[in-house]
Amino acid sequence: ADENCTHVTHFTFLGLTEHPQQKLLLFVLFLGIYVLTVLGNLGLITLIRLSPQLHTPMYFFLGCLSFLDICYSSTITPKMLLDLPTTNKVISFPGCLTQLYFFAVFGTAEVYLLAAMAYDRYVAISKPLLY
């Protein structure tokens, strides 16, 4: 009755570099890209909501795509930014599964939304009088 009782409790990240100067540079770079992504998408959503001329199906889809982009990038980036400057680079098994689940959900939703946007443009171009 000797059975293997090992189980995964956490994962350890190796990281991108061990040099403190490069860690700081990467942290600032990734934080800047993340902030620009979130602010740009929030700006686009705000602009679409505030402008009555943009209340069309195409801009509705673009607003939804911006929201999904914020969710998609917010799934992985905060944990990466949190672990980049530290030496304790671990994630629990449930935390990893949660990140993977939301990454897959938002990625799949984005693909379906892009397919709906393509069909919307197809209808607008091929049958303009019915659109």
Ranges of each domain in the chain: 18-126
Residue 77: what pLDDT?
A: 95
pLDDT digits over 30-53, tens only? 999 999 999 999 999 999 999 999
Secondary structure (3-state) at 92: strand
**pLDDT for the residue 110:** 97
Which amino acid would we find at residue 16?
Answer: L
Sign of CA dihedral 119, 122, 124, 130: negative
In this predicted structure, what is the pLDDT of residue 1? 53
pLDDT band at 88 (very low <50, low <70, confident <90, very high): confident
The mean pLDDT of the chain is 92
- Return the ∠ at Cα 107 (arms to 70 and 117), rounded to 5°: 85
* CA–CA dist 89, 15 (Å, integer): 8
**pTM value?**
0.84
CATH code matching the domain that covers 18-126, chosen among 3.30.43.10, 3.40.50.620, 1.20.1070.10, 1.10.10.10 = 1.20.1070.10
On the question of pLDDT at 26 being above 90, the answer is yes
More confident residue, 97 or 15: 97
More confident residue, 1 or 16: 16
Interatomic CA distance for residues 63 and 44, integer angstroms: 7
- Rounded to the nearest 10 degrees, the angle between the axes of helix 93-126 and helix 57-83 is 160
**What is the average pLDDT across 118-123?**
94
Count other Cβ atoms within 10 Å, centred on residue 66: 21
pLDDT at 114 over 60: yes
61 pLDDT exceeds 80? yes
CB 63 within 8 A of CB 49: yes
Lowest-pLDDT choice from 64-73, 78-87, 115-124: 78-87
- Pick from 49, 81, 78, 52: nearest CA to 66: 49
